[in-house]
Amino acid sequence: MAQFSAAPFQSSRGLAIAGSFVSPEEDDLYVWIRRFEDASDKGRLYEAVYQSDTWRNEISPKIPDMVAGEKIVARRIEPTSKSVFR
Q: How far apart are CA 81 and CA 83, in angstroms?
A: 6
Domain count, the chain: 1
Q: What is the pLDDT of residue 4?
A: 56
Say if 76 falls within a structural domain.
no
pTM: 0.74
Which residues does residue 22 pair with via DSSP β-bridges, in sequence order?
30
pLDDT tens digits, one per residue of 25-57: 988 888 889 989 999 999 999 999 999 999 999
CB proximity list for 18: less than 8 A, separation 6 or greater:
33, 34, 35, 85
pLDDT tens digits, one per residue of 1-13: 445 578 889 999 9
Residue 19's pLDDT band (cuts 50, 70, 90): confident
**Between 21 and 70, the higher pLDDT residue:** 21
Q: What is the pLDDT of residue 64?
A: 84
Say if 11 falls within a structural domain.
yes
Q: Show the domain range for 60.
A: 7-71
